[in-house]
Chains A and B, each alone.
Chain A
Amino acid sequence: GAVVSQHPSWVICKSGTSVKIECRSLDFQATTMFWYRQFPKQSLMLMATSNEGSKATYEQGVEKDKFLINHASLTLSTLTVTSAHPEDSSFYICSARTDSVNTGELFFGEGSRLTVL
């Protein structure tokens, strides 16, 4: 299947700093990528839909100024957690679809675990 790479896989930062997570589609172009957040022992919560060349679409309750998303190219989307606080600690997962047909399955990155001290 298609490969989606996330970096870093884990990061520890101090409260108040900003952290950037990258999501790359390695062997295909993705016009749309998705960012999820997963709390321990819970399901995935969609945060936003990242669209190449345009603004991201955020889900209700997700602060767009807190979680900045940039989809700079067809193979790269970034999520920046600004002024991170301990409650932002979580497992962040990105995904992308391989084709423009809406029946395609999503391929997921390996996730990035953020710990804010």
Chain B
Amino acid sequence: AQSVAQPEDQVNVAEGNPLTVKCTYSVSGNPYLFWYVQYPNRGLQFLLKYITGDNLVKGSYGFEAEFNKSQTSFHLKKPSALVSDSALYFCAVRVKAAGNKLTFGGGTRVLVKP
């Protein structure tokens, strides 16, 4: 069975500092990896995805993520965090062999302080 782990429930960072949100996965087969962001009482917004190709993926709002196959990780990063980046972030994985169902991690709450 496929699974996603986000080891940190919450990440606190000062505005302007680098932001990293960790994600590791476990699948059988080649993974399709995604990051989504959720603001309070809202749906999820797509940030970026890794399907194949370059391990470094650039997405919306200045976010990027690096696919590391040996470490089975897909950490989300932003060089300089903004207060408006405060939200709930979800990592997700999908594998064709598993019926293409999207499995989410538990979520990481990011708090960017001014």
Chain A positions within 8 Å of B, measured between CB atoms, are 1, 4, 6, 34, 42-44, 46, 49, 91, 93, 95, 102-103, 105-111, 113
Contacts and interface: CB of A to CB of B under 8 A. Distances in A.
A42 B45 contact: no
Question: Contact size class for B?
Answer: 20 to 34
Nearest to A101: B51
Nearest to A45: B104
Contacts of A34: 102
Contacts of A43: 90, 104-107
A111 B100 contact: no
Nearest to B48: A105
B101 interface: yes
B43 A109 contact: yes
A105 B41 contact: no
A102 B100 CA distance: 7
Given A49-B101, A108-B44, A109-B43, 8 more contacts: A43-B106, A46-B101, A46-B102, A91-B41, A93-B44, A105-B49, A108-B36, A110-B43
